[in-house]
Chains A and B, each alone.
Chain A
C-alpha cells in the first residue's frame, strides 16, 4: 500500500524534471526559476490567497471526476457541466436578485448543482439504458454546452458584453478578506470551505454508506455487482448526476464568490484539469484537496515566472503529470503483482 502512494509523488518529480529541460531550452536556470516560483507563491499572503482561490474550483471538478471513476465512469464532461452550472448560477442569482439572502444564497447554489446534474443526465441515461460510452457522450455534451450558452447569451447577457447581469447581494459568498485582513485583495472566498465540506461529504458517502459501497462495487466490477443484487444502471445514473452536480458548484466560487456574474469563457479547462487532480489523488476525496492545492500553486507559479519563462510551461507540466501518473501507476501495479 505504501508503495502506491509514491506513484503520484514520482509523477510530480518527473514532470518537474521535464519542465527543467524546457526552462533550460529557453536559456534560463531551472533551479533559480523554480526557486523564484516557490518564493512568489508561498512567500506572501497574497500568493497563498491566489493558490486557495485557484484550488477551490479544482476541488469541485476533481471530486466530480473522482466520484465518477469510483463508479467506473470516466466523466470528461465536467467542463460542460460546470459551464452550465455557473451559467444557471448567474441567471438565477440575477433574476431573483431581490430575494433575501437566506433564500437566494441556497437557491443560487442549488441552481448550479441542478444544471450540472441535468447536463450529466443524458450521457448517464444513455450509458445505463443502451450502454453508450459515457466518454464520447460527455465530450459531445461539453461542446453542446458551449454552443448553448453562446446562444442563450443573446438573451441573458448584458448587451454588448459576454456576461450576465450582476447577481443579487444576497447571493454573494463572502471573501476571506472581509474577516481576515491578511488576505486583502485576494478573491479567495468561503466557497473554499464549501469545497472542503463537499470533499469530506463525498468521502463519508463513499466509504461509510451503503450507497457508497454499492457505487464502488459497481466501479470494480459491474457484473459482480449485478449478481450481488445491486441496481447497476441506477447506480451509474446517480453517480454521474451527482458528479455533474459537484462540477456545477464551480459557479459558487467564480460567480458568487468572485465576479458577481457569469462570464463566457471563464473556465479555460478547469473541468479537464479536474481529471489530472483526480488521477494524482488516486480518486481519494482528501487527496483531491491536496492535489488541487498543488495544481493551483503550479498555475499561479506560472504567472509569477512569466517574465522569464512563458507561463505556458506550467500547462505543459500539468499535462505531463497526467502522463507520468498513469504510466507509473501501471508500472507499480505490475511490480506489486509480480512480487506478490
Chain B
C-alpha cells in the first residue's frame, strides 16, 4: 500500500480536472487507523476487502489503489465506491494510467478517480485523458503550474473517455484542411 506508514493524511490541496482548486471533504485512512463513524473516507484496498462492513459507512467511502494492487478484487465493490484514489508513489511508474482506463473503459466506473502520491504536473494531461477527475497535489506543488500545463495543450476535453478520439488520429475525423 502506498501510504501504509502514515495515519490519517490531511489532504493538502485538491484540484479538479480543469486544474482549479476544489473543496475537499475526503480523508485517507491508514491501514491500521480506527474507522471513523462517518465518511467521506478513503480506505486502502486491503482494508476494504478485510472489512466489507465499512462499505456501508454513512457519508461515502473510497478505495486507495496502489500500483501492485489487483483491480480484479476491487470490481465487486465498485458500485458502492464514490471515489477511487490511484496512487503514484513514483511518477515514473505508469501502472496507474492503465488502472484508470480499465476502471473507466472496462468496468464503466463513473465515480470520482483521484490521482495521489507523486504525479508531476507534466503528466496532468495524460491523467485527464485516462479518466482522472481530481488530483491530490503533492506537498508544495503549485496548482497554477498544473492549470498552465492544461492550458498549453488547448484546455480540457470534456467528452467521456470512451468517446474521446485516439491521440493525433483524431484529426482524421475531420476533413483535411491545410
Physical interaction between A and B: no
> Which residues of A come within 8 Å of B, CB atoms?
none
Interface residues of B, Cβ cutoff 8 Å to A: none
